[in-house]
């Protein structure tokens, strides 16, 4: 989802930080993190650097991959003893970057800590009309991921059938509704009757499949009698296998996530490779950062759809830096409803004022 970039020079100035004290084994537990307090850095800022008070943290499933041991050179590994990495937003409190003034709000690849220093070029400056909550929520990387997965990777067209796994989640719900706005038939896969009802009654899906209680291959045959043209996959595993068997010729699979393997299970590809070959079916993985040059255009389209009611957006905003590990764990237990964002106590007080 999020392209990780390393700064040429980066210094951290935390008051408090949640460090990764050991690697997870199997299901994620909050006790792999340790809260540490240390003095702030008093060195002058280097040219081009900014110091940021971090105020808002996105909890994204892909962060679970960053906790794995080093080895996969296409995504990094958080070193043991380092503050956990996360997409974050904050306010500039000191600046040596002429393009990023004190008081401006930014988003960045941050850390689970209260303050940090990093090059201004490694931050995205939010325009004054966009709040930090909207910059990381309605117009943040999750809805943008959905937009580019549907429009650029899936190339979905009116009249086609779109299948979305993890369809009640932060990315999947926007992807499903974008499909509906294009004029596609949309089928969502989710876990539990409440999420499936939301997909059909609020998100406007033509059908919803409860993978917990239904036989997935049979349910797909019933919900997609004319096959699947585009599959937006957040889950992988058995769900991907079943979807491949339902794909039409020249179908497209947008690989956004593999949440079925994030708790230590093996992440495997589809077993029916010959269907991909004979069907001319494409599978493409993607990151939202691949399309950074088009973010503003996509945001304008999202804004129009929010304003018109074409997309019902949900975020799940929690409070408390001290509870970050517990909030993050809720992602993997299905206890969030929409984009999961955690505010610091100070940011929450300001929002209520």
* 3 in a structural domain: no
306-327 tens-digit pLDDT: 999 999 999 999 999 999 999 9
User: Do 250 and 147 belong together in one domain?
Assistant: yes
Q: Is residue 309 part of a domain?
A: no
Domain assignment present for residue 294? The answer is no
Band of the pLDDT at 132, cuts 50, 70, 90? very high
DSSP letter at 39 equals P
Is 9 domain-assigned? no
Spatial CA neighbour of 281 closest among 242, 240, 239, 253: 253
Find how far residue 42's CA is from the centre of its chain. Answer: 34
CB distance 109 to 50 below 8 Å: no
How many domains, the chain?
2
**The domain containing residue 248 runs over which residues?**
142-286
- 321 part of a folded domain: yes
Q: Over the stretch 141-196, which tens digit does the pLDDT of each residue have?
A: 999 999 999 999 999 999 999 999 999 999 999 999 999 999 999 999 999 999 99
Residue 187: which CATH number?
Answer: 3.40.50.720
Domain identity same for 38 and 127:
yes
At residue 9, the pLDDT reads 38
Tens of pLDDT, residue by residue over 237-259, are 999 999 999 999 999 999 999 98
Nearest Cα neighbor of 49 from 152, 120, 108, 127 is 120
For the segment 21-28, the average pLDDT, to the nearest whole number, is 90
Q: Are residues 269 and 327 in the same domain?
A: no
pLDDT in tens, 70-115: 987 678 899 999 999 999 999 999 999 999 999 999 999 999 999 9
Q: Is residue 10 part of a domain?
A: no
Long-range contacts of 329-337 (CB under 8 A, 24+ apart): 329/28, 329/29, 329/30, 330/59, 331/59, 331/60, 331/61, 332/27, 332/28, 332/61, 332/64, 332/259, 332/262, 332/263, 334/191, 334/192, 336/59, 336/170
Closest CA to 124 of 144, 100, 102: 100
Say if residue 281 is in the same domain as residue 179. Answer: yes
Residues 146 and 129 both lie in one domain: no
What pLDDT does 248 receive?
98
pTM of structure: 0.92
């Amino acid at each position: 989802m999020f392209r990780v970039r390393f700064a040429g020079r980066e210094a951290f100035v935390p008051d408090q930080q949640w460090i990764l004290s050991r690697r997870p084994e199997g299901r994620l537990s909050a006790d792999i993190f340790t809260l540490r307090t240390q003095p702030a850095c008093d060195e002058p800022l280097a040219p081009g650097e900014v110091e940021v008070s971090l105020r808002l943290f996105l909890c994204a499933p892909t962060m679970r991959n960053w906790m794995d041991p080093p080895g996969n050179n296409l995504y990094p590994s958080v070193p043991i003893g380092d503050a956990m990495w996360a997409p974050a937003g904050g306010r500039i409190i000191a600046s040596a970057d002429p393009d990023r003034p004190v008081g401006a709000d930014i988003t960045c690849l941050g850390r689970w800590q209260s303050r940090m220093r990093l090059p201004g070029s490694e931050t995205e400056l939010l325009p004054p009309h966009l709040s930090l909550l909207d910059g990381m929520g309605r117009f943040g990387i999750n809805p943008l991921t959905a937009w580019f997965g549907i429009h650029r990777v899936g190339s979905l067209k009116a009249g086609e059938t779109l299948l979305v796994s993890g369809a009640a989640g932060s990315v999947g719900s926007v992807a499903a509704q974008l499909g509906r706005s294009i004029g596609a038939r949309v089928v969502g896969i989710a876990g539990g009757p409440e999420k499936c009802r939301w997909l059909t009654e609020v998100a406007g899906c033509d059908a919803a499949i409860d993978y917990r209680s239904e036989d997935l291959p049979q349910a797909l045959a019933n919900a997609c009698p004319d096959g699947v043209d585009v599959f937006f996959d957040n889950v992988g595993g058995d769900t991907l296998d079943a979807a491949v068997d339902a794909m039409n010729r020249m179908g497209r699979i947008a690989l956004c996530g593999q949440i079925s393997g994030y708790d230590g299970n093996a992440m495997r590809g589809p077993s029916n490779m010959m269907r991909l070959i004979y069907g001319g079916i494409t599978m493409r993985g993607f990151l939202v950062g691949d399309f950074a040059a088009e973010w503003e255009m996509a945001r304008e389209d999202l804004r129009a759809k929010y304003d018109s009611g074409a997309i019902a957006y949900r975020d799940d905003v929690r409070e408390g830096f001290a509870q970050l590990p517990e909030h993050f764990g809720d992602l993997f237990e299905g206890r969030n409803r929409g984009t999961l964002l955690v505010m610091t106590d100070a940011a929450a007080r300001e929002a209520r004022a």
